[in-house]
Structure 1
Amino acid sequence: MDRRPTIIDVASRAGVSKSTVSLVLQNSPLVRSETREDVRRAMADLGYVYNRSAAQLRQANTGLIGLVINDLRNPFFTEFATSVQMALSAKGFACVLANTDEDPALQAQVVGAMLEHGVAALILSPAYGAVEATFDAIARANVPTMQVLRRAVPDVARFPFSVPDYQTGSRLATDHLLATGARRIAFLGGLQGREVTEQRMSGYLAALAGAGLPPLHLPGRPTRTFGRAAAARLAAEHPEVDAVLCFNDLAGLGLLSGCAEIGRQVGRDLRIVGFDDIEECAQVWPGLTSVRCDIAGFGRGVAETVLGWLETGTRPPPETVTPVELILRASSKGPTP
């Protein structure tokens, strides 16, 4: 090695996290004797020398946890980030927050900066695309990292994944629409080829297959603008559609507006179900039926999992799926007898 070895080099050689090496250097009793020996052996092999005075200068950063979100403009992700930050603060940890705006290059940049500033762990709701730079840097740094809400890399043994039960949610929503008498149900929004779209459609597809009915997917970036434009498109191109399951609530709320614009009565002419159950679903008229993911509770659970990983070495399972429920409102009640 043609440079001075770092704590990250030691962690990589010993096969542990940077936080574990720090605990060994602090003579913490939390580290098992076998792990302590592995770390000290790696230090000796690399010629690592602990600079205690420099470490003391870095102490202010040891309680930092990085939170990287793909789209903070979406209230779903905003609520998640808020709940994580509040849960971490309650335990004395500071949260460093970054929005990547669905840009994998920006994601790599902000994650690299967080690693340089010594975050103890990372929580990523990742952007899709060329994510190798992001996750390669994390792997080199050996920082505990969770993927949440979206899975960008399949290596969940190294980067555990936590997500609400999207499949059950879409199944509940579709079964409900079928029970109201709907027979031509469309799925609105979601980009093709993305795992999160496939997950949110899977229960819908299974329910329709069980009923012997064909699916109809209108893909697109699930925004309010997309949902509003879809109202006119459905009326013109697919007048037989009598119900819609939306990829998320933004598309659903946009569809509500679009139906009002063209004079189509929601609940009678078209039944609509959203996904996520953001706060606004209960505030609009008609109220938007939605699959509740309890995103605030989900965020608190993720924070507790990461803190357990840091404080006790309890590694999360490779994949965690949390329960969902369907919240019924006026948008999907169907025509009044």
Structure 2
Amino acid sequence: MDRRPTIKDVAKEAGVSKSTVSLVLQRSPLVKEKTRQQVREAMARIGYVYNRAAAQMRTANVGLIGLVINDLRNPFFTEFATSLQMALAGRGYATVVANTDEDPAIQAQVVGAMIEHGVSGLIVSPAYGEVSDAFDTIERAGIPAMQVLRKVDARTDRFPFAAPDYLEGSRIATRHLLDQGAQKIAFVGGLEGRDVTRERMAGYIEALDATSMQPLLLTGKASRSFGREAAVRLAKEYPDCDAALCFNDLVALGLLAGCHELQRSVGKDFRVVGFDDIEEASHSWPSLTSVHCDVAGFGQGVAQTILTWLEDGSIPEKTRRTAVALRVRGSSADGD
């Protein structure tokens, strides 16, 4: 079906009347459960999504933005969501936020629910996995939608993508460690096979290519626990390793904790750099050198982009990368 499915299409597919479909959509108790299920299955088969605010949206923007985040437990994504929500609020828009916990099925569910309840646009930091259901649903709904921080759908003409320049971030971080005299640098964290891991790793490898140093890759979950485990592994299996670039700050903070337990001095003898520069990075001990992604500024920029799209009809560029910088602190320098 080339056009967006209608109630009439659902009625035909389910073998019921349009009024019955309407009653199901209104959650009327007058409809038998068997019929209700029959209609819901027909909706799923033809890809129908009910928009509760469709009538209003024909004449006006309802002022509600959907924000779907893959992991709100991670402070990086929380800081992004907060800055975005505040920027939208400053322009009179409300934000409905959902955490998918890295589950594509939950992502598809919340995207459908947000569209059903009339969001004017969607901003998605997507989960990895089979995500076509969610983005196909958005496609059928015909509302503006952006991918941020991660790109999982190649249709950037329909779902523009924005993220910090991860490649440059890992490049400048690795060069910093080399300039500090590191003799063997490990890249720690990030699940193997994911685009964001490959991208953050690529700058590290590129910087090492200019030297005789061989890459040392310890991929794994982007968590404190993995960083803590990596500290032990590096000490036992790679005692000559004297520096680490971590996939994100959570891994780096775990690595700092692991080094402390091992009574391994961080700073001059073993240097650590994180990525994202979450608020906690500057308050750890030692304070954590990190790739600063200006997540607050990034969130404000994304808010401006989606609002310009909604209000002026200006479609964003397909891919946009924002500048990063290195914040040097005690974990990679001789002094704090």
Fold equivalence (TM over 0.5): yes
2:73 equivalent in structure 1: 73
1:125 equivalent in structure 2: 125
Listed as ranges, the matches of 1:227-266 within 5 Å are: 227-266=227-266
8 A contact 1:271–1:334 mirrored in 2: no
Q: Number of aligned pairs?
A: 290
Paired amino acid for 2:291? V
Q: 1:2 to 1:236 in 2, by over 3 A?
A: closer
Partner deviation per Cα, 1:141-164 (whole Å, 9 max, x = no partner): 111100000001111111000010
1:211 counterpart SS class: coil
8 A contact 1:61–1:119 mirrored in 2: no
1:4 equivalent in structure 2: 8
Paired amino acid for 1:328? V
Listed as ranges, the matches of 1:133-212 within 5 Å are: 133-212=133-212
8 A contact 2:122–2:143 mirrored in 1: yes
Distance 1:334 1:112 in 2: 52
1:312 equivalent in structure 2: 312
1:20 equivalent in structure 2: none
Distance 2:312 2:56 in 1: 23
Q: 1:178 to 1:4 in 2, by over 3 A?
A: same
RMSD: 2.1
1:331 counterpart SS class: coil
1:279 equivalent in structure 2: 279
Partner deviation per Cα, 1:40-64 (whole Å, 9 max, x = no partner): xxxxxxxxxxxxx983599998111
Q: 1:56 to 1:243 in 2, by over 3 A?
A: closer
1:45 equivalent in structure 2: none
Deviation, 1:334, is: 4.7
Paired amino acid for 2:75? P
1:136 counterpart SS class: helix
Deviation, 1:285, is: 1.1
8 A contact 1:269–1:335 mirrored in 2: no
Q: 1:68 to 1:54 in 2, by over 3 A?
A: closer
Paired amino acid for 2:222? P
Are 1:321 and 2:321 an aligned pair?
A: yes
Are 1:93 and 2:93 an aligned pair?
A: yes
2:83 equivalent in structure 1: 83
Runs of 4+ with deviation above 4 angstroms: 56-61
2:8 counterpart SS class: coil
Distance 1:4 1:182 in 2: 67
Partner deviation per Cα, 1:181-232 (whole Å, 9 max, x = no partner): 1021000000111110011111101000111211011010110111111111
Partner deviation per Cα, 1:6-44 (whole Å, 9 max, x = no partner): 9xxxxxxxxxxxxxxxxxxxxxxxxxxxxxxxxxxxxxx
* TM-score normalised by the chain length of structure 2: 0.83
Deviation, 1:91, is: 0.5
8 A contact 1:191–1:221 mirrored in 2: yes
2:214 equivalent in structure 1: 214
8 A contact 1:124–1:145 mirrored in 2: yes
8 A contact 2:79–2:295 mirrored in 1: yes
Q: 1:309 to 1:60 in 2, by over 3 A?
A: closer
Q: 1:285 to 1:153 in 2, by over 3 A?
A: same
Paired amino acid for 1:107? Q
Q: 1:113 to 1:61 in 2, by over 3 A?
A: farther
Distance 2:101 2:313 in 1: 32
1:290 equivalent in structure 2: 290
Q: 1:82 to 1:335 in 2, by over 3 A?
A: closer
Aligned-residue sequence identity (percent) comes to 61
